[in-house]
């Protein structure tokens, strides 16, 4: 009986979360693809058997234009496809700094010790972490990292701004697991930091992780 309830419970969580993001945080939300049962397994609604992010990517090229900041509209959209993933467009209410999970946790612990003001942070089943920052500031990430002596692409640190998105919890990515909050949205972190406030500890942790990876291969 419990297993039969799980898909419905997951769908209710997705709908409630999408409405809450729009109503409480004033974030734009957009429904993405979803998982469908097929021959005893689950596949992405896009129909691609080799989909890289099953059930967790845009459902069409017009996804950004369909995003809404209305809780009522979000409820209506997810009622049509209750299992749809939650896409949070960047470049609007927030940007994001995308880093490897191991580096992200290292930097997060350091910043918490230093009392650095932090916004929400997500972690994905693909072992990435997304640090929410002020909208418009992700465009400065490459230059900020260069000033510290590294290249952002070489240390696997990416700024996500206009035209990109963050997958919102509790979206599930195929059979890999669900996107989760490493730091939940709260009233205390409603005001987001500038990317430059986080870039030093994040870049240091990413550079250290990249160096360790190279050492393991040598």
Q: How far apart are CA 138 and CA 198, in angstroms?
A: 11
Do 163 and 153 meet the contact criterion of CB atoms below 8 Å apart?
no
Helix (H, G, I), strand (E, B) or coil at 34: coil
Number of other residues whose CB lies within 10 A of the CB of residue 65? 9
Do 158 and 152 meet the contact criterion of CB atoms below 8 Å apart?
yes
Q: Environment class of residue 126 by beta-carbon count within 10 Å: exposed (0-12), middle (13-18) or buried (19+)?
A: middle
Q: Are strands 158-160 and 128-133 parallel, antiparallel or unpaired?
A: unpaired
Helix (H, G, I), strand (E, B) or coil at 160: strand
- The 10s digit of each residue's pLDDT in 1-19 is 334 345 555 677 999 999 9
For position 3, what pLDDT does the model report? 40
- The 10s digit of each residue's pLDDT in 74-112 is 999 999 999 999 999 999 999 999 999 999 999 999 999
For position 2, what pLDDT does the model report? 34
- The 10s digit of each residue's pLDDT in 29-42 is 999 999 998 777 88
| Percent of the chain residues topping a pLDDT of 70 | 95
Region 167-191: what's the mean pLDDT?
Answer: 95
Helix-helix angle 71-80:2-25, to 10 degrees: 150
Residue 96 β-bridge partners: 132, 160
Q: Are strands 95-100 and 35-38 parallel, antiparallel or unpaired?
A: unpaired
Region 61-81: what's the mean pLDDT?
Answer: 96
For position 32, what pLDDT does the model report? 98
Q: What is the pTM of this model?
A: 0.93
Token digits for 55?
């059930």
For position 11, what pLDDT does the model report? 72
Helix (H, G, I), strand (E, B) or coil at 132: strand
Query: Which residue would you say has higher pLDDT here, 213 or 62?
Result: 62
For position 4, what pLDDT does the model report? 39
For position 41, what pLDDT does the model report? 82
Do 68 and 85 meet the contact criterion of CB atoms below 8 Å apart?
no
CB proximity list for 31: less than 8 A, separation 6 or greater:
18, 59, 66, 77, 78, 80, 81, 84, 85, 86, 87
- The 10s digit of each residue's pLDDT in 118-173 is 999 999 999 999 999 999 999 999 999 999 999 999 999 999 999 999 999 999 99
pLDDT of 189 over the 80 cut: yes
Helix (H, G, I), strand (E, B) or coil at 214: helix
Token digits for 65?
């234009």
């Amino acid at each position: 009986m419990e297993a039969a309830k799980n898909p419905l419970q997951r769908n209710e969580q997705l709908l409630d979360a999408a409405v809450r993001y729009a109503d409480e945080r004033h974030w734009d939300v957009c429904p993405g693809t979803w998982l469908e049962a097929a021959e005893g397994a689950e596949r992405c609604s896009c129909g691609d058997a080799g989909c890289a992010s099953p059930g967790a990517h845009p459902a069409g090229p017009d996804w950004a234009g369909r995003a809404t900041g209305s809780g009522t509209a979000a409820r209506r959209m997810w009622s049509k496809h209750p299992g749809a993933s939650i896409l949070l467009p960047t470049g609007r209410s927030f940007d994001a700094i995308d880093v490897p999970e191991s580096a992200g946790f290292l930097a997060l612990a350091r910043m918490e010790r230093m009392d650095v003001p932090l916004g929400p942070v997500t972690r994905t089943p693909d072992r990435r972490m997304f640090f929410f920052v002020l909208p418009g500031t992700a465009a400065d990430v490459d230059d900020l990292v260069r000033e510290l002596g590294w290249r952002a692409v070489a240390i696997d640190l990416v700024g996500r701004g206009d035209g990109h998105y963050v997958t919102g919890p509790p979206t599930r990515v195929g059979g890999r697991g669900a996107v989760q909050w490493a730091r939940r949205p709260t009233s205390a972190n409603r005001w987001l930091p500038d990317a430059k406030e986080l870039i030093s500890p994040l870049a240091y942790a990413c550079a250290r992780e990249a160096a360790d990876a190279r050492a393991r291969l040598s």
